[in-house]
Amino acid sequence: MELRKFPLDSIRCDLIFESYSYNVAEVTLDWLEWSPVTIVKEELNLPDFRLTNITYGKHVEQYTAGIWHRLSVSILFDRLFGFYILQIYLPTYISVFISW
Q: How far apart are CA 72 and CA 87, in angstroms?
A: 37
Task: Supply the pLDDT for residue 87.
Answer: 84
Question: Is residue 2 a part of any domain in this protein?
Answer: no
pLDDT for residue 97 is more than 90: yes
Segments forming the whole domain that contains residue 92: 10-99
Q: Report the SS3 class of residue 62.
A: strand
Q: How many domains does the chain have?
A: 1
In the chain, the N- to C-terminal Cα span, in Å, equals 35
Q: Is residue 4 part of a domain?
A: no
Q: What pLDDT does residue 84 have? A: 83
- Find the mean pLDDT for residues 83-89: 84
CATH number of the domain residue 49 falls in: 2.70.170.10
pLDDT in tens, 26-79: 888 888 888 788 777 667 778 888 888 889 999 998 888 889 999 999 999 998
Give the predicted TM-score (pTM) of the model.
0.73
Q: Which of 5, 77, 89 is nearest to 41 (CA)?
A: 77
Tell me the sheet residues that pair with 42. Answer: none
Residues 88-100, mean pLDDT to the nearest whole number: 91
